Structure 1
């Protein structure tokens, strides 16, 4: 069991197994397919127009790699008292039991920004939490502990909205599985 005075930002010792985003591999495969289709389309257009050249093929390959890097999904994982988001070799981690704020960022897509007392910061898509109730459970468990300790000063409303949505989607899944929908 992790100690409360351990503020290293690393997963507490004896934290049990980590829970991962179950659909990450599917999302990654979709990203690879999109980049591959872009590359194939550009190469076919060049070949059809008779303007294909090695330097142009290298340019199209670089464009497809950049497209992949922009679309590559973050891999979300959580354990007891921590949540991590890994994107192309860089990992961001927060201690959920030391959360100080949870904010919804609106823009092209809704994002959830989590900050802990150690300066850790993770930005995630709330849809991942809805699709993976185990990840939500790990986050909620730590956030409740942070709220009880008084460190979570901002974000209870955002967490309640996500909790209602997770509960609603879980109930729908149960009804679908039992044939009651």
Structure 2
């Protein structure tokens, strides 16, 4: 069977399990401490459950997949698609949370943690090939900032 070159982030499932474990474990720990101290009540338990939901939203990893001409970054709520063979700009944002921002000529944008590409060489090879295709067009590069 002829499969398209590319693939998905191989570490995503483990990262998602870790995020879910933390988002479930931390509120359970807080409810346990409140119960042991005799401070548990429905409003406090609701607060800890709400905190767990916020943690899940913050910690949930972006699932990145790349195939010839298309990169998809799926978050907990939204998915962003970028036509990587028609890139208009590639920008590296340095800082605490490094991000690679890709924008195609149609205005579609996606932000990806560069560690995803470092951990998944097939994704990097697809992006590299498509960037080279885009270099013959209107690609702008911006690094740092």
Relative to the length of structure 2, the TM-score reads 0.91
Residue correspondence of structure 1 range 137-176 to structure 2 within 5 A: 137-148=125-136, 150-155=137-142
Q: Which has the higher helix share?
A: 1
The more displaced of 122-131 and 39-48 is 39-48
Match of 2:25 among 37, 44, 54: 37
Partner of 2:78: 90
How many residues are treated as equivalent by the alignment?
142
Match of 1:60 among 33, 48, 55: 48
The more displaced of 51-60 and 67-76 is 51-60
Q: Give structure 2 stretches of 5+ with no counterpart.
A: none
Relative to the length of structure 1, the TM-score reads 0.74
Q: Which whole-Å deviations, capped at 9, do the CAs of 1:92-150 have from their partners, x for residues lacking one? A: 111111111111112212111111100010101000000000110111111110002x2
Higher normalized contact order (CA 8 Å, seq sep 6+, divided by chain length): 2
Cα distance in 1 between the residues matched to 2:6 and 2:39: 51
Cα distance in 1 between the residues matched to 2:6 and 2:117: 14
- Please report the RMSD computed on the Cα atoms of aligned residues, expressed in angstroms: 1.7
Q: Give structure 1 stretches of 5+ with no counterpart.
A: 1-14, 159-181
